[in-house]
Structure 1
Amino acid sequence: MINLPIEPHEVPLLRELVGWDGRYSDYPALFERCNFWAGLRDDKNELIAFGYVAGMGLQHGYMEDIIVHPDHQRKGIGQALVKKLLQESDQVGLEIVTLTFDIKHQTFYTGCGFVPCSGGLWRKKV
């Protein structure tokens, strides 16, 4: 569901379940700054999938944080989430959506329609 109502603590908890840093300070500000997000809940109303697209909302958007709860992975939920975000991107007029991913996920993202390309990453030294 696009722009599913999500409590600020839910995405950080989901991030931690997949082994990522929770980034609790990013929420709820992220919901105010991204173009749109998508999420899915299970029959117990637990958030089991999340992802978003950010950018200026003009021609280009950036997809990030495609997360599926470990108990629900490999069931097609991630692919459905990405496809829903791409459909929404198309509906709002984005012509280009980029993302970065670990090489081990290349087959997943090419299966969703992404074409691998070169790029770069800058990260602040901690």
Structure 2
Amino acid sequence: MEVCPPLGDAALNALFAAAWPGHELTDFGARLRRSLLWVAAFRGEELTGFVNVVGDGGVHAFVLDTTVHPSARRRGLGVRLVRRAADEARRAGARWLHVDYEPHLTGFYERCGFAPTAAGLRRLG
């Protein structure tokens, strides 16, 4: 696992296309420039896992885009990625780490150290 390795759009789009049906090509460079940090996992040269963390400039950080290649799932890679991201966010000054997820991912995020809380969500588009 590497923290903030150089990642290009081709590698990230390939991972996301494999992991997320309906993924559309994305300019990840623009996203990463605004990130607090990201953690990536590789099998050889192939990107197999990714998690992004953005910050508010203060003590809050947010987990986004947790993604593991289908061929690498169910082996604990996602949990290790998120836990490493949490450790790195703490080192970067964050005191609270937030994540939004769908109900079927509750167990996964509990294994990552998160506790469910009440939160609000509003779709804007």
TM-score by length of 2: 0.92
The structural deviation recorded for 1:12 is 2.0
The structural deviation recorded for 1:112 is 1.0
How far apart in 2 are the matches of 1:24 and 1:83?
27
Unaligned runs of 5+ in 2: none
Matches within 5 A, 1:96-115: 96-115=96-115
The structural deviation recorded for 1:9 is 2.1
- Are the counterparts in 1 of residues 3 and 38 from structure 2 also a CA contact under 8 Å? yes
Partner of 1:15: 16
Range with greater deviation from structure 2 (17-26 or 89-98): 17-26
Partner of 1:41: 42
How far apart in 1 are the matches of 2:124 and 2:96?
26
Identity of aligned residues (%): 27
Ranges of 4+ aligned residues in structure 1 off by more than 6 Å: none
- Are the counterparts in 2 of residues 68 and 77 from structure 1 also a CA contact under 8 Å? yes
The structural deviation recorded for 1:98 is 0.4
What is the root-mean-square deviation of aligned Cα atoms in Å? Answer: 1.3
Cα gap change, 1:22 to 1:10, in 2 (>3 Å): farther
Please tell me the residue identity of whatever aligns with 1:98: H
Note if 1:3 corresponds to 2:38: no
The structural deviation recorded for 1:21 is 4.4
Unaligned runs of 5+ in 1: none
Note if 1:62 corresponds to 2:46: no
Q: Secondary structure at the match of 1:66?
A: strand
Q: Secondary structure at the match of 1:28?
A: helix
TM-score by length of 1: 0.91
How far apart in 2 are the matches of 1:18 and 1:97?
24
